[in-house]
Amino acid sequence: MDHQAYLQAAAATRTERMAWWHAARFGMFVHWGLYSQLGRHEWVMNRERIPVAEYEPLADTWKPGPRPAREWARLAKEAGMKYMVLTTKHHEGFCLWDTAQTDYNAVKRGPGRDLVAEYVDACHEFGLRVGFYYSLMDWHHPDGARCAHDEAARRRFLDFTQGCVHELCTRFGKLDILWYDVSWPLRSPEAWETYEMNAMVRELQPEIIINNRCQLDEDFGTPEEHVTAEAEGRAWEACMTFNGSWGYMPAAIDWHSARRVVQMLQEASAGGGNLLLNIGPRPDGSVPDEAYARLETVGRWLAANGEALYGQVDRVRGRMEWLPTGSWTLKGNIGYYWCHRWPGDTLTIGGLQTPVKRISHLASGAEIAFAQQGDRLIMTGLPTESLDPEVGIAVLKFEFDGEPRQRLGAGCVLLD
């Protein structure tokens, strides 16, 4: 196969394929599998060295409640998320769909139903784009480790892997995102036959977008547990746990607040990236109360302030400066100032190089009085408490007369 030709063909359609995803900004990650029953993190099998024979019976004891995916999708929609990504097979190797590649699947074992099909239906019902997570690493498959040093095992494991991926791309209608994970133990895209596999995926799903955890860069990068922009020109999505564990884990009690989630959204948007925030449903599929409450709050905030992040945004770095009271997102001649430390009745911003025509409070539309003197802009007549009492992040919309620029330097006089 001509690898260069494959890469060029994918690059040629990338901008078009990724447009909806950039505009969507915010998605829900769902980690749900046999490990949810143990409630000790999705790596429990590896971290506690549980032998396959001891782990396997979890496939029979797993009895999810009816259609939990509807609850996730309803919540995602309410939270302002536009797409979802479900673990169709995590490292443990249990397949959530009716696969012909192994009997270790949700239809043949405890659940007795196709959980991926239910999920896809729920995404459609709530108008969310559909993403499938698929772990290349497999702790259950007999060749999952052996493939590294046994050629016959590698062939069998690749046939299994390609068979699974083929099914995922053909049985559930249009698939929007393929989210690979952990490509242990093979060490190159040649060894994984990634070019060939992804060419097949793109043939079956021409509009799909694919992440970078398959030993090829593909369409987007996946910083994990930190919201950090990738290089200019490179699409990225920060994937974040809600509480430090991807799988359901009652002992993980340090939940990100709704306020922190909104800050992550600002950081992602300012860098032109996305945020994929995880929920780890309980074994019955229900969403932990902590996640529920916070996502509902985030949803209310986004209903009023979504304009500051959805759609086409421009990268802030190099254009605007850090400030003690807030941070920016940018769209053309508009700057959105996410004020997360409300200063009281007067808010001053230094260093703006572009004249401001109008400032308003995004959520209410109320106009804000200001004076711009040189590179000092002073807003007055503000309330003493934040205009956003629930989350404490009020967005002020700046309409600039041209491309917004801010320069502060380190001294009190700009040198040069």
- Which of residues 56, 217, 224, 321 is near ligand GLC by CB under 6 A? 224
Burial class (CB in 10 A: 0-12, 13-18, 19+), 246: buried
Q: Does 217 bind ligand GLC (CB under 6 A)?
A: no
Pick between residue 223 and residue 343 the one whose CB is nearest to ligand GLC: 223
Give backbone dihedrals phi and psi of 406, rounded to 5 degrees, phi first: -140, 135
Pick between residue 22 and residue 31 the one whose CB is nearest to ligand GLC: 31
Residue whose Cβ sits closest to ligand GLC: 239
DSSP code for 308: G
Number of residues that bind ligand GLC (CB under 6 A): 8
Rounded CA gap, 328 and 336, in Å?
5
Q: Does 246 bind ligand GLC (CB under 6 A)?
A: yes
Take residue 263 and report the two structure tokens written for it.
């800050």
As measured in angstroms, the least distance from the Cβ of 106 to ligand GLC is 18
What are the CA-CA distances from residue 357 to residues 296, 316, 401 (Å)? Answer: 34, 20, 6
DSSP code for 352: B
- Which of residues 5, 11, 152, 182 is near ligand GLC by CB under 6 A? 182
As measured in angstroms, the least distance from the Cβ of 31 to ligand GLC is 6
What string marks each residue from 162 to 181 as x (binds ligand GLC by CB under 6 A) or -?
-------------------x
As measured in angstroms, the least distance from the Cβ of 77 to ligand GLC is 22
Take residue 253 and report the two structure tokens written for it.
């009690």
| Footprint of ligand GLC on 358-397 (CB under 6 A) | none
- Which of residues 10, 122, 128, 239 is near ligand GLC by CB under 6 A? 239
Rounded CA gap, 385 and 280, in Å?
35
Give backbone dihedrals phi and psi of 371, rounded to 5 degrees, phi first: -135, 135
Q: Does 244 bind ligand GLC (CB under 6 A)?
A: no
* Contact assessment for residue 245 and residue 280, using Cβ atoms and an 8 Å cutoff: yes
Q: Does 143 bind ligand GLC (CB under 6 A)?
A: no
As measured in angstroms, the least distance from the Cβ of 38 to ligand GLC is 14
As measured in angstroms, the least distance from the Cβ of 265 to ligand GLC is 18
Pick between residue 218 and residue 314 the one whose CB is nearest to ligand GLC: 218
Query: In sequence order, what are the residues at sequence separation of 6 or more whose Cβ sits closer than 8 angstroms to the Cβ of residue 85?
Result: 27, 28, 29, 30, 131, 132, 133, 177, 179, 276
Rounded CA gap, 17 and 218, in Å?
12
Take residue 134 and report the two structure tokens written for it.
């698929």
| Footprint of ligand GLC on 14-73 (CB under 6 A) | 31, 42-43
Question: Would you tell me which residues interact with ligand GLC (CB under 6 A)?
Answer: 31, 42-43, 181-182, 224, 239, 246
